Structure 1
């Protein structure tokens, strides 16, 4: 009796398929049944399913067994992580019911179920992506990008102004004409302002000359004058 595959690794939610094959010697017309076991705690065997030679199929909520003599197909449905473990099949004949011919062990590893949210949400998103919706999204992205660029430009401008990193604004802050006028006014004040004690004072004196009124010269006065 052989049991294969020897190893299976599957995600939760799926199904695992094993095959149990019996030799032709065991299938020589005698009645038999095939049991399926799962090892518990690495030592104890737990019978989980059974199928007879004349039964074409056996189905439960968890297991599905199909008769393909001399091979039997065994499926574990709706896998859970606690289904992980070692499985094997055992052949029991009616002539020797106390004897169980065990097969080799096969190992099943059930991993966590993959996230199905992406697979289910993608069609919904594709259906909702109409041309108008795409245009609105693109417009929003462009507006947001423009706002970010303006904020960065304004921040850099304010930073450069505070740090004096814009050379074009220096002439506006310090005017050349203002500096020249200041120097001229300062020099004019030094040259023209003279202390009161050193300033020359122009004094003008006026004299009045009074001439006596002349009397007419007569012969007598002229004679006296000569004397």
Structure 2
């Protein structure tokens, strides 16, 4: 019987499996996805394990097709394509590390097949969710309301501009129509010059400094004149 070192960690096995991506960066709380390719095997395995490096020499099994440590680890398989996929949900900072997949062929005296190492980096990116902008981005109902508001604004704004332009044109035309009337009212109408004729009697007394005859002194001197007043 062939013995292998640290069978549980698959640190001493034939590297016939392919693990991808080689480098994976995800944000805190997202899902990390790894693919284990088994096409190099000349048989179809029924069980695939995933491991995380605990230190430079040992690895810890975290999940397999038949078992997962908790609900955060999920595996799907496509035996026809000879591949399996590991989903690490809601990743945490301590999920960062080195991962690989492997298979232990119990029918061939525990022959071990392992894969290359992939690096997972969980980035601690915080988002400000208290602002109106982020709430609009994250809330689908707010997105819909915001979109409807933009559509309504795009329709109402041209109508408002048309109404405003129409009012300005009407107001200018109204000023032009009222200007002659206003000029007429500013200067009151002037009647043409009318001359009136008034008749009267002018009395010239006898104040002559020289002596006149007795006949003339008895009768007053009367003369008539016509005066025209505008």
Query: TM-score, length-normalised on structure 2?
Result: 0.46
Structure 1 or 2, whichever has the larger Rg, is 1
- Structure with greater helix percent: 1
Higher strand share: 2
